[in-house]
């Protein structure tokens, strides 16, 4: 693997850095998991889109720059380095979009990608239900065929839907064949949340933000052209989305490299002399760089047309545990100051604690690694 950046890639980095240095809001924005903060974040994302930085690796026709995945990684590094706001459009651009590119019809791509890139339409993820989280195939939300109208009627409840109360659309799984074996008979739907019969009820998180929602469907009509992939093959389509979430796009290494740089700055400010603390900081830096190298290897595989598959579970366990470790080290350094309400380290730590839960819990990822990567027998 050649780890040197080409002249074009370096020029791309310089252009991105210059734009971000001039345009990133200096004071930061209110949390994107509040209604007010979400609106501010969308304004910022609109500015990104207008300058064609919102979705760099997408085709130009959809607002991108036709950038390679390597360039996308460079952009992500620069984005985090500049301290730019977290993307509230992430469930669309990082999770649904790769799935639309793989399974969507040309009509679906033309219909949804441009408005997703500009932030005019925003997407939330409808997997979890009150009785189906880790065991996603146990979902009871269903879709019943309406032959006459040419579509499906959806019913059921989704929960823990991140930013569901602020988004315009949901992608999710619904059971279309109740007689089929568990992982079959599921279909992936794209649901506009203003469709009659949809009720969205926001609720608060433990950190005080209102970011979650329950999304209820009561006989909601969805036409055939809002089915993504084949009917009854939704599990396969959903696994492509979760692969993006665990593996590559949701948490790019730039995020952790930037966190380690801030940790080093904090250690300098506080004059960290304890050798054990210094060791933890060094370990964090090593792990962030190891994750960067692992990501480069993943991109190499993808560029060669391979799919990382179950290995994305290794990645997810690694980045989520690294995030907790980096924030715990920072809290130790910041001491009582970290308890001040507006401390970014405290807020970051609270969110890092949820990393081992969302995108499939780390216990479940370890089961996947044991069975599908290491080939150990199922218990
Ligand atoms: C910040 C955050 C954002 C989220 N956003 C979304 C979203 O946008 N959309 C969405 O659909 N969901 C979302 N979720 C929900 C998330 O996907 C679920 O919480 C997760 O899949 C676990 O499901 P559960 O909460 O029902 O826990 P359960 O499945 O009930 O699990 C409870 C505990 O049992 C363990 N466990 C369960 N089964 C096994 C097993 N077979 N082997 C070993 N251990 C097991 C789990 O690891 C966990 O520790 C979000 C969650 C968080 C924390």
Alpha helices (runs of H) in 199-343, residue ranges in sequence order: 234-246, 253-270, 275-303, 312-334
> What are the tens digits of pLDDT across the range 129-167?
999 999 999 999 999 999 999 999 999 999 999 999 999
Question: Does pLDDT of 333 surpass 80?
Answer: yes
Closest CA to 165 of 209, 200, 216: 200
pLDDT band at 177 (very low <50, low <70, confident <90, very high): very high
Question: Does pLDDT of 173 surpass 80?
Answer: yes
Question: Does pLDDT of 222 surpass 90?
Answer: yes
What is the share, in percent, of the chain residues with pLDDT greater than 70?
99
Going along the chain, which residue ranges are E strands?
A: 123-126, 142-146, 151-158, 169-175, 186-192, 198-203, 212-223, 227-228
Looking from the CA of residue 359, the nearest atom of ligand 1 is 17
C-alpha 304/C-alpha 9 separation (Å) is 19
pLDDT for position 27: 83
> How many A from CA of 364 to the centre of ligand 1?
9
Shortest-distance Cα residue to atom 16 of ligand 1: 358
Q: Which overall architecture, per CATH, does domain 7-88 show? A: Orthogonal Bundle (1.10)
C-alpha 253/C-alpha 293 separation (Å) is 9
Interval 57-66 mean pLDDT: 97
Shortest-distance Cα residue to atom 39 of ligand 1: 364
Residue 227: beta bridge partners?
189
3-state secondary structure of 153: strand
Residue 220: burial class (beta carbons within 10 Å; 0-12, 13-18, 19+): buried
Question: Does pLDDT of 9 surpass 90?
Answer: yes
Report the greatest alpha carbon distance in the chain.
Answer: 73
Domain positions in the chain are: 7-88, 123-233, 247-373
Interval 109-119 mean pLDDT: 98
Looking from the CA of residue 362, the nearest atom of ligand 1 is 47
Q: Are 215 and 170 in contact (CB under 8 A)?
A: yes
Question: Does pLDDT of 52 surpass 70?
Answer: yes
Long-range contacts at 103-110 (CB < 8 A, ≥ 24 apart): 103/188, 103/228, 103/229, 103/237, 103/240, 104/228, 105/225, 107/225, 108/190, 108/225, 108/228, 109/62
> How many A from CA of 358 to the centre of ligand 1?
6
Question: Does pLDDT of 359 surpass 70?
Answer: yes
3-state secondary structure of 172: strand
Query: What CATH number labels 247-373?
Result: 1.20.140.10
3-state secondary structure of 334: helix
Q: Which strand (E) or helix (H) includes residue 113?
A: helix 106-118
pLDDT for position 341: 66
Which residues does ligand 1 sit against, CB inside 6 Å?
124-128, 133-134, 160-162, 354, 357-358, 360-361, 363-364, 367
Q: Is this prediction's pTM over 0.85?
A: yes
> How many A from CA of 362 to the centre of ligand 1?
9
Shortest-distance Cα residue to atom 48 of ligand 1: 361
Question: Does pLDDT of 69 surpass 80?
Answer: yes
pLDDT band at 90 (very low <50, low <70, confident <90, very high): very high
C-alpha 334/C-alpha 251 separation (Å) is 25
Measure the N-to-C terminal CA separation of the chain; round to a whole number of Å. 38
More confident residue, 356 or 340: 356
On the CB side of 170, CA atoms within 13 Å amount to 32
Q: Report the mean per-residue pLDDT for the chain.
A: 94
> How many A from CA of 40 to the centre of ligand 1?
29
Query: What CATH number labels 123-233?
Result: 2.40.110.10
Question: Does pLDDT of 122 surpass 80?
Answer: yes
């Amino acid at each position: 693997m050649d780890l040197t950046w080409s002249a074009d890639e370096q020029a791309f980095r310089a252009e991105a850095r210059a734009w971000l240095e001039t345009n990133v809001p200096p004071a930061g924005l209110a949390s994107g998991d509040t209604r007010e903060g979400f609106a501010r974040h969308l304004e910022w994302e609109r500015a990104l889109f207008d300058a064609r930085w919102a979705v760099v690796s997408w085709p130009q026709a959809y607002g991108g720059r036709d950038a390679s995945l390597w360039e996308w990684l460079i952009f992500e590094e620069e984005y985090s380095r500049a301290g730019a706001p977290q993307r509230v459009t992430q469930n669309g651009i990082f999770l649904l979009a790769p799935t639309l590119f793989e399974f969507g019809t040309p009509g679906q791509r033309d219909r949804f990608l441009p408005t997703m890139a500009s932030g005019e339409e925003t997407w939330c993820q409808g997997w979890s239900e009150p009785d189906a989280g880790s065991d996603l195939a146990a979902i009871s939300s269903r879709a019943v065929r309406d032959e006459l109208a040419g579509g499906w009627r959806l019913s059921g409840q989704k929960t823990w839907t991140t930013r569901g109360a602020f988004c315009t659309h949901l992608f999710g799984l619904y059971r279309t064949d109740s007689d089929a074996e568990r992982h079959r008979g599921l279909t992936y739907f794209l649901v506009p949340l203003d469709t009659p019969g949809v009720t969205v009820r926001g609720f608060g998180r433990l950190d005080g933000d209102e970011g979650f929602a329950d999304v209820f469907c009561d006989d909601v009509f969805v036409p055939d052209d809002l089915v993504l992939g084949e009917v009854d093959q939704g599990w396969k389509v959903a696994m492509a989305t979760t692969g993006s979430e665990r593996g590559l796009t949701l948490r790019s290494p730039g995020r952790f490299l930037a966190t380690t740089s801030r940790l080093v700055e904090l250690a300098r400010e506080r004059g960290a002399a304890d050798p054990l603390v210094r060791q933890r900081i060094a370990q964090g830096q090593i792990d962030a760089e190891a994750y960067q190298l692992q990501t480069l290897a993943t991109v190499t595989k993808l560029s060669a047309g391979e799919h990382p598959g179950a290995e994305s579970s290794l990645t997810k366990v690694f980045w989520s545990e690294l995030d907790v470790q980096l924030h715990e080290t920072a809290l130790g350094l910041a001491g009582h100051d970290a308890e001040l309400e507006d401390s970014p380290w405290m807020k970051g730590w609270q969110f890092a604690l949820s990393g081992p839960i969302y995108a499939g819990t780390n216990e479940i990822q370890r089961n996947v690694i044991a069975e599908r990567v290491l080939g150990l027998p199922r218990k």
